[in-house]
Amino acid sequence: MPLLRIRNLSVDFATASGAFRAVDAVDQDIDTGEILAIVGESGSGKSVSMLALMGLLPWTATVTADEITFDDRDLLNMDRRARRRIVGNDLAMIFQEPMSSLNPCFTVGWQIKEALRYHLRLGRAERHARAIELFEQVGIPDPEKRLSAFPHQLSGGMNQRAMIAMAIACKPKLLIADEPTTALDVTIQAQILDLLADLRRETGMGLVLITHDMGVVAETAERVSVQYAGQKVEEQAVGDLFNTPHHPYTGALLDALPERATEKMLPTIPGVVPGQFDRPAGCLFSPRCKFADAKCKSTPPAPLGADLGHARCFYPLNANERVAS
């Protein structure tokens, strides 16, 4: 039994111009201690699918699923009270913008200790000791002093470390990191990714890393789920995905990596992720796919088998190599 099991998760937003499906029939499994990366361009529904899991979507969102099981508990049919005891405790999440994700009116120490009091009911002295320990764990120097700092007095990297400290305060079984490094400088990015990987090793928690950066995926992840326009289009172990991508979208993402470029110009994927009004009838990637034919444009493909990375494609790449090997 995996730590987290999601089946057929869909999210619809009620907008002024009608319903918009941001997440479409996504399946996901995460094991204890595993790092799963969810990749895809901006607008692929990566954040929304995980916010749905956390129960953090606004009321305009309708979440439907066949199953959401976390740690043997049914999150889907759980009341709000019971869910609050899990969220922020066993199931934690950090966000893209560390500067705006911390409350500007309270010290970072206060914000960390709040979680400790709320979920673990620690006393005052214990909270303080644990907060210092957490700051040391996430590599914040001079923790005693930093605990009494306000978010605007710390750098973006320090704030993200504080966010991570807050998220792991109650020793979660699963941490979801939604583009944790996107807003940070390149040098800081690597440090934060290392920190997350180290913490995963130390604590044995599962880690979901949402990113649009294939480079980050290569460095950190073990398994990769590629998401496009709300659908999961492919899933493979990280090595296999980089060697033998099956979905043309994955192939295009990999071709856009700087180290794979053969010419001076980086190849980019032409076009944009379809939105509410330009959703194609067939394969969602077909308007941008160089292999697409009439069938692709009219009929939505179903996911293929595990041997082809569950790719939603009629003409998967590298299919023969896989069959041959």
Contact partners, residue 250, CB within 8 Å, separation at least 6: 226, 233, 234, 241, 309, 311, 317
Give 113 or 288: the residue with its C-beta nearer to other proteins.
113
Interface with ligand ADP (CB under 6 A), residue total: 15
- Residue with CB nearest Mg ion? 47
Residue 179 DSSP one-character state: S
274 binds ligand ADP, rule: CB under 6 A = no
Please give the full DSSP string across 262-300, using - where no structure is assigned. -SSSPP---S----SS---SS-TTGGG-TT--HHHHHSP
Q: Which of 10, 28, 47, 227 binds Mg ion (CB under 5 A)?
A: 47
Q: Which stretch binds ligand ADP (CB under 6 A): 42-50, 110-118, 193-201, 214-222?
A: 42-50
Residue 87 DSSP one-character state: B
Residue 151 DSSP one-character state: G
d(CA 28, CA 235): 9
Q: Which stretch binds other proteins (CB under 8 A): 112-120, 208-216, 224-232, 307-315?
A: 112-120
Q: Which of 48, 138, 205, 209 binds ligand ADP (CB under 6 A)?
A: 48
Q: Out of ligand ADP, Mg ion, other proteins, none, which partner does residue 285 contact, by CB within 5 to 8 A per kind? A: none
231 binds Mg ion, rule: CB under 5 A = no
Q: Which stretch binds other proteins (CB under 8 A): 14-22, 54-62, 185-193, 283-291?
A: 54-62
For tokens 């305009």, the residue is: 60
Cβ atoms of 276 and 15 within 8 Å: the answer is yes
In the three-class reduction of DSSP (H, G, I as helix; E, B as strand; rest coil), residue 51 is classed as helix
Binding residues (CB under 6 A) for ligand ADP: these are: 13, 15, 20, 22, 40, 42-48, 58, 60, 275
